[in-house]
Amino acid sequence: MSLLSVEDLDVSFRTTRGPVKANEGISLEVEEGEILALIGETGCGKTTFGKAILRLLSKNVKLEGKIFFRGRDLLALSEKEMRRVRGKEIGIMLQNPSLSLNPVLTVGDQIAEIYRWHENCGKKEAGKKAGEMLELVGIAPSKKSEYPHQFSGGMLQRVMVAMGLALHPGLLIADEPTKGLDPQTKQQVADLISGLVRREGSSLLLITHDLEVAERVADRAAVMYAGEIVETGSTGEIFSSPKHPYTRALLESLPGKGLRAVPGQSPSFVSPPSGCRYHPRCEFRMEICSAIRPQLLEIEGGRQVRCLLYEKDAGLDEGQETEQDTGQCMGVDTGQDTGVDTGQDTGVDTGQDTGVDTGQDMGVDTQ
Amino acid sequence: MWNYIAKRLLLISVVIFGVTLVSFSAMYLAPGDPAEVIAFARYGQDLSAEQIEAVREAEGLEAPAYIQYLNWLEHVLHLDFGKSLISSDDILEEILLRLPATAELALASLFLSLMIAIPAGVLSALKQNTLLDNACVFTSLLGVSIPNFWFGLLLIWLFALTLRILPSFGYGSLENLVLPALTLGTSMAAVTMRLTRSSMLDVLKQEYIVAARAKGLDERTILIRHALKNALLPVLTFAGMQLGYLLGGTVIVETIFAWPGIGKLLVDSIFARDFAMVQGCVLFIAVLFSLSNLAVDILYAVLDPRIRYDKHD
Amino acid sequence: MSEKKLNIREFRKNRLAVLGVLLIILLSSLALFAPFISPHDPLEQKLGKRLEAPSSEYPFGTDDLGRCIFSRVVYGTRVSLGIGVLVVAATSIAGTLLGVLSGYRGGLFDEIVMRGVDIVLAFPNIILALVIAGLLGSGFTNVVLALSLTQWPVYTRLVRGQVLSLKKRAFVEAARALRASNFYIMRRHILPNCMESVVVLGTLEIAHVIIFAAALSFLGLGIQPPTPEWGSMLKAGIPYLRSAPHLTFFPGLMIMLTVMAFNFAGDGLRDCLDTETNREVMAG
């Protein structure tokens, strides 16, 4: 049984412009002792997802689906039961430590209150424990009597780690822990978090838009776009052979790999694109992509992809194939060779052949 | 923090200096011949020109303005505000005699106002857009718009004249204090409530409140430990404005309820054309106001850790 | 850069604000058409009909000199609105200009102006106005003068704050780079951006001024009888508070309604501004 198992989670907000779905059909699993990176660009809904797990979203939100943690559906718990989960079984590091810490309380107090609340510690004992946590994350315990504005960005991030791990939760959710830090500090913080988490045998859900950090630290990765999961797999596999066009584009945007920006703009949540949400920006888009919304399907090697390019290849399609089979021969050749030799004679020789035969059947039948 | 306080002190000194200038002008620019007024008060109806001139010389009233100002300022620094034009009583003495009454009224009103406004503001913010909130907001809008002199009269009509359970004027017992304090306090409460509410609403939207919830704390603990202190700090900064309203309000309320305070003294002096007394009162009140503002600023500096502990480099 | 266009639509959603505007229109009509609306001459005394309760002939009853209170209240609108508009017009213009100059030029000039502001604000509002009115004497012009001298600083402070932050904005730097004259920059770039908050402050200030003016009259300075003015009418009604409360009730109610109208409208305008300007106007 997975530590965390999210099943078909929908998160929608009631706004003046109508309901907005920030997360749709999210299904995800985090195993014991595993580090899973949730990757995506700013605004794609990953922070909302992180907060949704602990039900920290505002009152006008509707959560549908199931979130199983150690076998219990968190969405079915009462608020009182949920409070016992927060901090103790699942810890979270929110974005922007300078905003997530109360400016009028000392850093030590803000860590100590976790002990006083959950473990009924006395003031002195809790203060001592807070000092120990600070030391664990590399801050002198004497600093516990200082205020957040007296700390640097990197130090504040460490404080957030201390707060998240204070009660040694089974799962830590870290929301953009390296945002706004310089490269060296980024690595330090990333290593600190992953190091501590591994030591405890806990799991980590790392929410980030920073691919390098994800690659450095995570076992597995899930890519999110416009509120949906579009690809999952082990970190190594995803980074070496990305399947979804968006993942590819993301990787190409890295300094080391081309620094090509992902074209186009993030889609609106109020009126998302029809069909596949990525199609307006996709360099491999086909005509059917604007009409049909692809499902997240498993392809070989335990990987999942949400893309019509891989439809035919999907083994476990759960009987949804009939929706995707238009019965038409699309005859659309994008003119771009994806670099994969389909092994089928398409009868159309575009004259461009990059010569890479992955031996996989792409499932694109251009006849 | 000391930096901050030192700057405020310097500023206050300059302001107080300016205040003395303005106060002096009150007397200097007053219509009529001050020598004549003083002479009249001393010698009565039949004044001869010689008597007036004698007074003029004795009081140094022929000197140019700035000399008179400096003379007066020197006296003031020695805590000699001069004598009343009418009664020849020592001005500072008269003011200090009435200070307790004004202080009593001011403090009672402030206390009442805070007791009403802060719980109402907090509750209103917590239960935003419910009936309670809407009722509070509307009531406060009413309270802000109602003239306190009319409100005072209404209260007198209701409690003193119709129900006859409270006196309509006078000074001495707790009973006397109720209506004046209610008058002054409720109008202040309206403003304070609005401020508390909006400040609280602001705070509740902050990330550190979500962070507190993420630790598993319950709403009550979050409110008391995290929200309140942050929400009440801005209310404190506006306390300065409130004090101004308070001091100004005492003028009206004391007049309506015949409350023997400094405000009433000021109004009476104006009508009596006793501009020396007017000058003294105005100076006293303005200095009092400035010093209270300074006190509030210092209090704020102490309470807000961001100012108390300047950022280390 | 003008957010005013958005405001009107937002404004309409705010029911209280709309109510406020309607009330203002109603009150202005009362002022303008007073001779047609009042059933009687506000100055006419009928000593045989003193202190009569409200009736069909005298909707608000009569006062201690037999004058129709309703007519006096209606004519009083002229006085109060007149003072409000005049004082706010004068102070907002003068205060804003001073604030723009002070904020833009900075330096010693700025320091002096701000100390002037601090000094005037060191006196609790009404006390300074009281003393000035006491020195000048009662009467319409004197009230306007007294209140103008005490109310200008709030605009200066507000506008100066805005100018200081505007100075740093890119479009001002750009204008400077293009060698635009200081006067031009102030006129085209700085001033228009301050106008929204000045309008909000001005609306709320009308409410303040009306109360102050009434308070001055109530205390015996300001406007005095026989001119119909709500504050002095309140004062006249005090001796008859028990026997004829309608003398005090109606004028006071009018003050409250008028002030409410401007407060609602001003609040509504303020809610339409963005949050940054919001906070400064609140502080002002």
What is the per-residue pLDDT for A126? 92
**Mutation test of the interface with chain B: which of A74, A82, A102, A205, choosing the one with the most B Cβ atoms within 10 A?**
A102
Q: How high is the pLDDT of residue C7?
A: 61
Is the Cβ pair C263, B285 closer than 8 Å?
no
Chains linked to A by 3 or more Cβ pairs within 8 Å: B
Residue B133 pLDDT > 50, yes or no?
Answer: yes
Closest Cα in chain C to B246: C124
Q: Is the pLDDT of residue A244 over 80?
A: yes
Q: In this structure, what token pair is assigned to residue C243?
A: 């026997």
| Mean confidence (pLDDT) of chain C | 85
Compute the nearest-CA separation of A61 from chain B (Å).
15
State whether B215 and A87 contact (CB < 8 Å): yes
d(CA A345, CA A365): 9
Number of C-beta neighbours around residue B144 at 10 A: 21
Query: CB–CB of C135 and B31 under 8 A?
Result: yes
CB atoms within 10 A of CB C181: 10
Question: A213 vs B170, which has greater pLDDT?
Answer: A213
| B15, B150, B253: best to mutate for the C interface, most C CBs within 10 A | B150
- Chain B residues in contact with chain A using a Cβ-Cβ cutoff of 8 Å: 206-208, 210-218, 221, 225-226, 229-230, 233, 304-306, 309, 311-312
Whether the bond between B234 and the residue before it is cis, its omega within 30 degrees of 0, is no
Judged on CB neighbours under 10 Å (0-12, 13-18, 19+), A106 is buried
Partners of A72 in the β-ladder: A69
Residue C168: per-residue pLDDT: 78
Q: Which of the two residues, A158 and A259, has the higher pLDDT score?
A: A158
Instruction: Summarize the confidence of residues B158-172 as an average pLDDT.
Output: 84
State pLDDT tens for residues A82-133: 999 998 999 999 988 989 999 999 999 999 999 999 988 899 999 999 999 9
**Among A277-286, B202-211, C145-154, the least confident range:** A277-286
Task: Determine whether the interchain pair A103/B306 forms a contact, defined as Cβ–Cβ distance below 8 Å.
Answer: yes
Confidence of residue A359 (pLDDT cuts 50, 70, 90): very low
Q: Tell me if B157 and C122 make a contact (CB, 8 A cut-off).
A: no
| Single-letter residue type at B246 | L
Helix (H) / strand (E) element for A230: namely: strand A228-234
Q: Closest by alpha carbon to A50, among A90, A102, A85?
A: A90
So what's the pLDDT on residue A335?
A: 39
Q: Shortest CA distance to B206 belongs to which of A4, C201, A96, C113? A: A96
Residue A210 has pLDDT above 80, yes or no: yes
Are A165 and A200 a contacting pair, CB within 8 Å? yes
| pLDDT tens digits, one per residue of B12-41 | 888 888 888 888 887 777 777 777 777 777
- Structural tokens at position B174: 């707790």
pLDDT bucket at B182, cuts 50 / 70 / 90? very high
Alpha helical stretches, state H, chain C: 4-13, 15-32, 34-37, 69-105, 107-121, 125-136, 140-151, 153-167, 170-177, 182-185, 191-219, 230-237, 246-272, 275-283
Nearest-Cα distance to chain A for B244, in Å, is 28
